[in-house]
Structure 1
């Protein structure tokens, strides 16, 4: 086991991370048990440490609050250790025996708990009262997250994958003969002597799990329909399985549905034909770049490598969750491409790019690998990073969002470092920035925000180094911190923004006019709303009156409310009128942000009664909440 000094030093370098969790631990509650479960389950983690009696200092004046030893009273030490051992023995489907020891710092006691990762055959560990899959927690970054049905495939290799199940109401006539011929063509180019090429169509489809035989009848699987199905059949049976290509006129996502897009195109078809169509559609729409060598710009085409685009598209098609009734979105901003597919990554962000693959759709993946449409298993992300680096472009970044069950690939259409970047970076010559810190500044200039995960990916650095880089940029008053713990992200300060005028970058694909409108007269707003830090200028008078009535209702509430449904309903009423930010809800309800989020907003999000204003970036600096199914 590592020493307490080493563990606290690591905490202060990286914050709570994958394998260390700090707890005040006044008692052994549900949160600690969830962490024990996640450390036991997470593949390749090797287990983790729980520090009881250590917490982050509550110092609002400190730029970087540190973890300090608060200690556990001596008369509670035995009770804490006994309760922990007892619950680890009885709480789960099998007993867990963590290693427990006590260390002292300045006379204060800390209980160090090391939880070892279970062997593959012993997983998953789960909380008995919750059962599978939700009781089998995983460790994702610094969070303990509930297991899902997709996670179960990691632990149970015999579990039938979704792509091998039969599609209800599908018929053999729904298979497109041209798609079978296309498969034979691609497979022959890879291996002309492949045995399955000698089979007739039915035998071929059975060999790759596209159809199943029951008795004398054949039934189409999801692999068969998705890979070989006709467009009418796909529209009839899987109407939301499509790819939406969206062109946005500015670098920011516009929430106004009437002014959101420059153009959209929705694409359907069998996966083998669809992948080619998507790549050509995006490729024809991309600008071409130039390479910066010495002091000259060498005139040769080094735009986004086609192979990188292919890998990103193929990744979305073969790893998306086909259980989700939502399309893949490919959003073309002026400065980047974002590919968002339903289904979080079954590998953690730290494991992305590592050898080996965890497949949600193993039979679809096998078809893509055997036809050479996808890289060798587990090597696609490494290949994308290498190719982007080869043409001096920003490496791709990846975001796996378990909460909203989606995975995002971002390809920044930016050459590092081009002539304009070098000129702009002269603003910071006196700051003695490293190359990594310069790349972070360019990334945040282009996207408006950055978190530790994205910064790690663009620089290929570890969490400790990245944290140090972000800390220095904040100390230099170039970045400001938003959010807390795993939701922490960084935005540009006014000092950094003031340098943006030094670059002349056209950020629009096509100009969008007619979007401005005069602000409504605010002088007539109800007096009981005048003190709120809320922009009401875009609301109609009826909505402002509704807000006033809700505010009156809030003002009459007792200080202590036992029925949480009262506040939940008020939040839903508020967010049905306009999107509300967290700080606005706290002002209205006169409650702490932690209390409002933990007891009301988070449950409403999980129940799909509330939604995000910016679902594509949960940590967006202007994130707000809106009522669904108004």
Structure 2
């Protein structure tokens, strides 16, 4: 068991940590118990530590954790052990000890991961799945129906359940013929090819008899259903291909993008979606000296096909949402409903987990997909071989969404080499140079993206990002799992660099500040952990008149009539909807208008309203974007 001082040092060394939770701990509240539940349930995490009496100083130059102390440590210990034993469906027994850090008492509680047969732990007065929590990154998040599939391997998968109102008339003969053709190429002697259509569907788990009538399972409808059946029974299960001009989501609601909606049998959709995207991609070839065969220098087709197949196989079909494929000027983003069943850090490792095993089996038998968990590793290898930045993956448990990001930018082209030469004085390693190019293309980078780009662990990523932050190439935003980095003071864009290096007065450090070796007083943990460091930053001011000018008089009157305290959140939500009826507003602007703190407005109103589809993000592809703003969701008239 680690000591409190070691855990505090760990928190200050890494910008995010999924196995340590720091709390003020003046009382054992719901959030502490949610962390207990999350550490107990999270597969493969091995448990985690809860530190009580530790806080983070946010106003310092570099946010730092310090020991604030617990006054009634005996009482807090007793309350924690008592509630862990009584609040859940089964007793949880954390190991608890009190330590002194610089004269202040800190409680260290270690919560072990439960054996598979005892998961999930959940609050005894709540039902599953909502009463259970998982540890996702550095946050505790409610479980969903898909999480139960992780915990209960014996539970029937969703794709094996029957679709009410379906029948054999909904089966597409063309889709069945395509399956036989693809299967025959893999194994022309496969036994199932000798079956008639009904027996074939039954053997694949695509139909079952219910009360004497044959009905389709979700696997049957999705794999072999007619388009008209998909529209009637699964109206939101489709693929939306969206073309966005430029490199970011457009603000103009009247001229944002063009979109193509596609639906039908999954076996047919693979080639249809693939062809639609490849027709839009830039194509280039190079003829090496002495060679007769030209080589393609575009996005590898196998990478794109793998990403499409993964989205179709691994998405959750419990959610009535389409797959979105967004084509920006410099990248492709594929967003499918359903978080990854494998942790982000384990993507690319052998072994595959699928929430749709019947669908995955058909794709494997027709050689459209592999089931050994090597798809991600193959994508990374092919992108690097094509001299492209590796793909990045983002699994968002809270939004129940998985994103694959494929940059179309060739790494270390002639322009990139010239651009990177402006940063020579900083002594960056190859991993950090990749991060610079990624940040220039996408606008921001986080610890997870850095690890995926460079194949490093969290400590190496944190160390490199901290080094770039100290050199003011990057600027840190957010905290905990929401930490990300944007361009800093010394980050020079391609337009600024042009043909010359930065002026000596800007790029050359003064003698007493060696940028290759961070200053000792900034890179090392603070000497004292018992008191917060002195605040070095001033709050950013916002012009109230400028913000108020963006909204109408009627909305201003509603704001002025708001009570200082109200127990009805719908009153505030109605005002927020009125505020952003026609324009985007930032969280800081809402906070200024409503007279509340920014954190409170985001936690209490903006995030729930995003989840309930009342608001939309300005930058949906990067939730933590530094210029993130919100607008009222438009009603779908279709």
TM-score of the aligned structures, taking structure 2 as reference length: 0.87
How many residue pairs get matched? 590
Give the corresponding residue for 1:597. 602
Give the corresponding residue for 1:213. 209
Give 1:498 deviation, angstroms: 4.5
Give the corresponding residue for 2:227. 231
Are the counterparts in 2 of residues 369 and 377 from structure 1 also a CA contact under 8 Å? no
Q: How does 1:163-562 map to 2 (within 5 A)?
A: 163-261=159-257, 263-288=258-283, 300-493=295-488, 495-502=490-497, 531-534=544-547, 536=549, 543-554=551-562, 557-558=563-564, 560-561=565-566
Q: Measure the CA separation in 1 of the matches of 2:243 and 2:15.
A: 38
SS of the residue corresponding to residue 257 of structure 1 reads coil
- 1:319-376 Cα distance to aligned partner (Å, 9 max, x none): 1122322221111112111111122222232232232222221111111112111123
Q: Measure the CA separation in 2 of the matches of 1:606 and 1:376.
A: 32
Give 1:146 deviation, angstroms: 0.3
Q: 1:69 aligns with which of 67, 70, 86?
A: 67
In terms of mean alpha carbon deviation, does 89-98 or 588-597 score higher? 588-597
Are the counterparts in 2 of residues 478 and 496 from structure 1 also a CA contact under 8 Å? yes
- 1:257-299 Cα distance to aligned partner (Å, 9 max, x none): 32112x43222221111101211222232223578999xxx97
Q: 1:79 to 1:258 in 2, by over 3 A?
A: same
Q: Measure the CA separation in 2 of the matches of 1:396 and 1:291.
A: 23
Give 1:14 deviation, angstroms: 1.4
Q: How does 1:32-47 map to 2 (within 5 A)?
A: 32-47=32-47
Which sections of structure 1, spanning at least 5 residues, go unmatched?
505-528
Q: Measure the CA separation in 1 of the matches of 2:471 and 2:558.
A: 43
Q: Measure the CA separation in 2 of the matches of 1:280 and 1:232.
A: 22
Give the corresponding residue for 1:20. 20
Give the corresponding residue for 2:532. none
Give 1:483 deviation, angstroms: 2.3
Q: 2:149 aligns with which of 153, 157, 172?
A: 153
Q: Measure the CA separation in 2 of the matches of 1:503 and 1:124.
A: 57
1:567 paired with 2:572, answer yes
Q: Measure the CA separation in 1 of the matches of 2:436 and 2:179.
A: 45
Give the corresponding residue for 1:517. none
Give 1:10 deviation, angstroms: 1.6
Are the counterparts in 2 of residues 291 and 415 from structure 1 also a CA contact under 8 Å? no
Are the counterparts in 2 of residues 427 and 499 from structure 1 also a CA contact under 8 Å? no
Q: 1:80 aligns with which of 76, 82, 85?
A: 76
Q: 1:97 to 1:284 in 2, by over 3 A?
A: same
Q: 1:232 to 1:601 in 2, by over 3 A?
A: closer
- Answer 1 or 2: higher relative contact order, Cα 8 Å, separation at least 6: 2
Give 1:562 deviation, angstroms: 5.4
Q: Measure the CA separation in 2 of the matches of 1:546 and 1:468.
A: 51
Give 1:15 deviation, angstroms: 3.4
Q: Measure the CA separation in 1 of the matches of 2:2 and 2:44.
A: 19
Give 1:414 deviation, angstroms: 1.7
Q: 1:565 to 1:180 in 2, by over 3 A?
A: closer
Give the corresponding residue for 2:30. 30
Q: Measure the CA separation in 2 of the matches of 1:562 and 1:278.
A: 48
Q: 1:535 to 1:415 in 2, by over 3 A?
A: farther
Q: 1:626 to 1:279 in 2, by over 3 A?
A: same
Are the counterparts in 1 of residues 287 and 295 from structure 2 also a CA contact under 8 Å? no
1:588 paired with 2:596, answer no
TM-score of the aligned structures, taking structure 1 as reference length: 0.88
- 1:398-457 Cα distance to aligned partner (Å, 9 max, x none): 112223222111000122211111011011011111111111110011111112211221
Q: Measure the CA separation in 1 of the matches of 2:173 and 2:567.
A: 64
- 1:150-192 Cα distance to aligned partner (Å, 9 max, x none): 1001111232222112222222121112211211222222223
Are the counterparts in 2 of residues 291 and 391 from structure 1 also a CA contact under 8 Å? no
Q: Measure the CA separation in 1 of the matches of 2:100 and 2:260.
A: 63
Q: 1:125 aligns with which of 103, 121, 136?
A: 121
- 1:516-561 Cα distance to aligned partner (Å, 9 max, x none): xxxxxxxxxxxxx97335385xx6xxx532343234335xx44x55
Are the counterparts in 2 of residues 46 and 117 from structure 1 also a CA contact under 8 Å? yes
Give 1:316 deviation, angstroms: 0.7
Alpha-carbon RMSD: 2.4
Which sections of structure 2, spanning at least 5 residues, go unmatched?
500-541
Q: Measure the CA separation in 2 of the matches of 1:563 and 1:243.
A: 38
Give the corresponding residue for 2:11. 11
Give the corresponding residue for 2:624. 619
